[in-house]
Amino acid sequence: MRVLMYYSNRDVRLQEMPVPRIGPGELLMKVMASGICGSDVMEWYRRDKVPLVLGHEVAGEVVAVGDGVERFRPGDRVAATHHVPCNTCHYCLSGHHTVCETLLKGTHFEPGGFAEFLRAPAINVDRGVFHIPEGVTYEEASFMEPLACVLRGQKNARLRPGQAVLVLGSGISGLLHVGVARALGAGLVAVADSIPFRLNKAREMGADLVLHRDEDILKRLRQANGGRLADLVIICFDGFIPLALQAVEKGGTVLFFAGAAEGATIPSPINDLFWRTEITLTSTYAGAPADCTTALKLIREKAVPVLKTVTHRLPMADGPQGFLIVSTPTQHDCIKVIVEPQM
């Protein structure tokens, strides 16, 4: 089978590998849609593991199932998530499934989503593979995992209906945050970025206020929000961290959602940031199985218009170009790039 072997953002090679063999409790998926995630092009995060086959935003068709698999059969349309929790450790039992060591280090696909076929291990089949609802396409279903991450982020940040939300960065995660905030009943939804194409996409996703990075963002935000700043600020690009700490209203929350550059720090004096402000800084990573279930429901109901974010659909042979496009966003009008391994 064909795979995309990742060495760096500018060195992704179309190679051949054997189709994985499955064992008891496992399944083999024919991958129909695989999204390129922003984390896929974080070279510092990948450099000690290359070469490898990436891809974790996947949807496809079950080709074969191992002994003991009862919930799935060949021909089923499914979406899968690569990392799943153990459900029994201290963190899982405390509700922090996405910091479980099993999720962080112990589960993955073979070889990855940028392949014509993948093997889902038994633990993934048990709690990380989901039937695609009727009326949902493979492409839409491939958004299950990233949308689950966004849902968990806003849940951890305790977004409440009517609150003002400021999303900093309008790449794919930022746009999904706009869509989810809108679906969950946020009041004002504002977005800031420096790329006009992405700001236009933010409008399409339901943003009330789009702000160019060069504007007086705090002034514009106060004007649109009754003199107040944002109740929830979501950082989807680390270059906005200093602004985020200035843009949060007293009693509000800053969500560190996107991974930052290697060595990034929080540049703020403690007293200015915390004393007499009652603000909360929180973070989130990945999504749990329950978040995946909710994500598929939102996709099925068209509550979050995920397909509006798709700018490129590429056959496997053009996958290397997709990595280059995603890793150089200021040079290309792109948001979500979907690789179609069967093409």
Query: For 4-34, what is each residue's pLDDT tens digit?
Result: 999 999 999 999 999 999 999 999 999 999 9
pLDDT band at 151 (very low <50, low <70, confident <90, very high): very high
Give the per-residue pLDDT at 44.
85
Structural contact between residues 190 and 215, judged by C-beta atoms closer than 8 angstroms: no
| Residues 89 and 213 both lie in one domain | no
- Can you read off the two tokens belonging to residue 180? 């989810």
Residue 202 lies in a domain: yes
- Can you read off the two tokens belonging to residue 196? 């006009």
Would the CA dihedral through 270, 272, 275, 278 be positive or negative? Answer: negative
- CA dist., res. 30 & res. 27, Å (int): 10
Final residue of a structural domain among 248, 268, 283: 283
Q: Which of 147-151, 185-189, 227-231, 326-330 has the lowest mean pLDDT?
A: 326-330
Query: What secondary structure, in 3-state letters, does the chain show?
Result: CEEEEEEECCEEEEEECCCCCCCCCCEEEEEEEEECCHHHHCHHHHCCCCCECCCCEEEEEEEEECCCCCCCCCCCEEEECCCCCCCCCHHHHCCCHHHCHHHHHHCCCECCCCECEEEECHHHHHHCEEECCCCCCHHHHCCHHHHHHHHHHHHHCCCCCCCCEEEECCCHHHHHHHHHHHHCCCCCEEEEECCHHHHHHHHHCCCCEEEECCCCHHHHHHHHCCCCCEEEEEECCHHHHHHHHHHEEEEEEEEECCCCCCCCCCCCCHHHHHCCCCCEEEECCCCCHHHHHHHHHHHHCCCCCHHHHEEEEEEHHHHHHHHHHHHCHHHCCCCEEEEECCC
pLDDT at 264 exceeding the cut of 90 = no
| Residues 143 and 292 both lie in one domain | yes
Give the per-residue pLDDT at 214.
93
Domain residues for the domain of 202 are 158-283
Mean pLDDT of all residues in 72-76: 98
Give the per-residue pLDDT at 37.
95
Identify residue 14 by its one-letter amino acid code.
L
Give the per-residue pLDDT at 305.
96
Mean pLDDT of all residues in 293-313: 97
Residue 270 lies in a domain: yes
What percentage of residues in the chain have a pLDDT greater than 90? Answer: 89
Q: How many domains does the chain have?
A: 2
pLDDT band at 255 (very low <50, low <70, confident <90, very high): very high
Residue 153 lies in a domain: no
| Residues 136 and 201 both lie in one domain | no
Give 131's contacts (C-beta < 8 A, 6+ positions apart): 72, 76, 77, 78
pLDDT at 270 exceeding the cut of 90 = no
Higher pLDDT, 266 or 341: 341
Would the CA dihedral through 96, 99, 104, 106 be positive or negative? Answer: negative
| Residues 171 and 255 both lie in one domain | yes
| Residues 140 and 13 both lie in one domain | yes
Give 132's contacts (C-beta < 8 A, 6+ positions apart): 59, 77, 78, 79, 138, 141, 296
CB atoms inside a 10 Å sphere around CB 190: 26
Give the per-residue pLDDT at 263.
80
| Residues 53 and 168 both lie in one domain | no
Final residue of a structural domain among 241, 260, 283: 283
- CA dist., res. 194 & res. 98, Å (int): 31
| Residues 142 and 24 both lie in one domain | yes
CATH code of the domain covering residue 106: 3.90.180.10
Give the per-residue pLDDT at 275.
84
Give the per-residue pLDDT at 82.
95
Encode pLDDT of 205-225 as tens digits.
Answer: 999 999 999 999 999 999 999
| Residues 203 and 173 both lie in one domain | yes
| Residues 172 and 244 both lie in one domain | yes
Encode pLDDT of 124-135 as tens digits.
Answer: 999 999 999 999
| Residues 133 and 222 both lie in one domain | no
Residue 200 lies in a domain: yes
Residue 329 lies in a domain: yes
- CA dist., res. 139 & res. 59, Å (int): 7
| Residues 330 and 242 both lie in one domain | no
CATH code of the domain covering residue 272: 3.40.50.720
Final residue of a structural domain among 254, 283, 312: 283
Higher pLDDT, 268 or 122: 122
Encode pLDDT of 306-329 as tens digits.
Answer: 999 999 999 999 999 999 999 998
- Can you read off the two tokens belonging to residue 67? 């002994």
Mean pLDDT of all residues in 289-305: 97
| Residues 171 and 254 both lie in one domain | yes
pLDDT at 330 exceeding the cut of 90 = no
